[in-house]
Amino acid sequence: MSLTVKSISVIYSPINQNNTFTSGDFISGKVILDVAKDTKMQSLSVKIKGKAEVFWTERHCKNNVVYSESDKEKYYSVEKFFVRGENTHGNDHETLKDPSGQPYSSVVAAGRHVYPFTFQLPLQHFPPTFKGSVGKIVYTLETKLSRSMRISSKAKAEFHYVPSPVVSNPELMAPQYGTKDKQMKLFTSGSVSMNINTEKMGYYIGEGLKVLAEVQNNSSRAIKPKYCLYEKHSFFARGKRKLHTHDLFKEEGEPIEPNSRKIVTKVLPIPPSLTISILNCRILKVEYRLRVYLDVPYASDPEIKFPIVILPLQSLSAASSATNSDFQIRNHPAGGNPYPNPPSMPPSAPPLNAVGQSGQFAAPGHYRPPLSQFPAPGYPGPPGQFAPSNYVRLLAQFGPSVSHQSDSAPPPYLEYQLYPQLPEHPEKS
């Protein structure tokens, strides 16, 4: 920061206790400029934008190879000017006026100057704010002050964004089923089998994940059912995939004695700190799996995995009557109401609010139909037949999650999304 420009910053006002914004929300703030003496500005602007990016390096022989998605994933970028320079390119930049309706002066006196603004976020459903080990999705407000023969002064503030689902998808509420049999060898004789049922695939943060397990222990040793919820972070760049998995929690049930059958119900809490599932980003994904397995002494553990989709839970504050053309900045007097006739607000989110086409979600296809204790109306196909699930195809193409990196190129990205198709990437940075 030069001696003339003492400080420049951009701030915004939270609209709820969680300081979270969603599709269609208005975000109001101020650009605050503090100068030591009379200053002439070439331009002063504020920009709102959202993007995803990945970056990591690897050592190959004696060379460091950089993996990044050079074009990133850009969702939107809109810039407005308080003072617009003559060299500003394009005619889609709006020039704002002061609260009295007059253009802002390009010359400011010594002291503190405040420039209020308000944006409306687009109504499209973009991926939520996320920061991982080698990738992130960020939404920012940025301000830039340009002066002749001087380095530009910049500042930015990140805001937390979570998409608000708007259409119910009944298949996220459909039960999931899985069965597994194992014949024991060597130090343990006999066999074990388990039939696992979850109430649904989609869960809200803080909700209980109910698991019903029927275990038949025909082996010579006592066994324990165990449960593990873990997350998968996948990052893609230059035809490669970098994978990180992390166990969120593990729990275990009571032992099941030899030559006995037992039905066990377990309710697992969804941690409130989880990021919602991210399945609609080209260069990174956030997925969750529930692993149910039997702890068998002196033998490999039979297991079943279920995909779990974490959904956003919040009251919508977006304007139901607004359109995408309403994505604009408006100027208003300090302390005044910039929207004397605010648009109507939709009601709170219904019990299940995730967008998707019919058939997009289904029970994993590896599994046979459940036993009589777990009825499955409409379960597709005879025993052993795969269910028509995009999620299953996604898992099959991406491969197992035990490795932390795959050297093979990832498959073409499936159009598997919780939310509607994103628009084409804008040209702006």
pLDDT in tens, the chain (429 residues): 568 999 999 999 999 988 999 999 999 999 999 999 999 999 999 999 999 999 988 877 777 777 775 658 999 999 999 999 876 665 567 889 998 999 999 999 999 999 999 999 998 889 999 999 999 999 999 999 999 889 999 999 999 999 986 556 788 889 999 999 988 776 677 889 999 999 999 998 888 999 999 999 998 888 999 999 999 999 998 888 999 999 999 999 999 999 999 999 999 999 888 999 999 999 999 999 999 999 888 778 899 999 999 988 754 443 333 333 333 333 333 334 333 333 333 333 333 323 333 333 333 333 333 333 333 333 333 333 333 344 544 333 333 332 333 333 333 333 333 433 334 334 344
pLDDT of residue 153: 95
The distance of Cα 124 from the centroid of its chain, to the nearest Å, equals 14
Neighbours of 124 (CB within 10 A): 17
At 414, the amino acid letter reads L
Which CA distances in Å does 72 have to 237, 317, 423? Answer: 10, 29, 14
Task: Supply the pTM of this predicted model.
Answer: 0.71
Could you tell me the residue ranges of all domains in the chain? Answer: 5-164+317-326, 170-314+349-406
Question: Class of the 170-314+349-406 domain?
Answer: mainly beta
pLDDT of residue 170: 80
As a dihedral over the C-alpha atoms of residue 352, residue 357, residue 359, residue 364, rounded to 10 degrees, the angle is: -60
Nearest to 161 by CA among 52, 284, 245, 78: 52
Q: Which strand (E) or helix (H) includes residue 405? A: strand 405-406
CA dist 130 and 151 (Å) reads 31
pLDDT of residue 54: 93
Nearest to 269 by CA among 198, 226, 205: 205
What are the φ and ψ backbone dihedral angles of 233, each rounded to 5 degrees? -110, 120
**Per-residue model confidence as pLDDT tens digits over 301-329:** 899 999 999 988 754 443 333 333 333 33
Domain boundaries 5-164+317-326, corresponding CATH code: 2.60.40.640
The yes-or-no answer to whether 5-164+317-326 and 170-314+349-406 have a common fold is yes
pLDDT of residue 131: 95
Tokens at residue 57, please? Answer: 């390096």
**Per-residue model confidence as pLDDT tens digits over 118-143:** 999 998 889 999 999 999 999 999 99
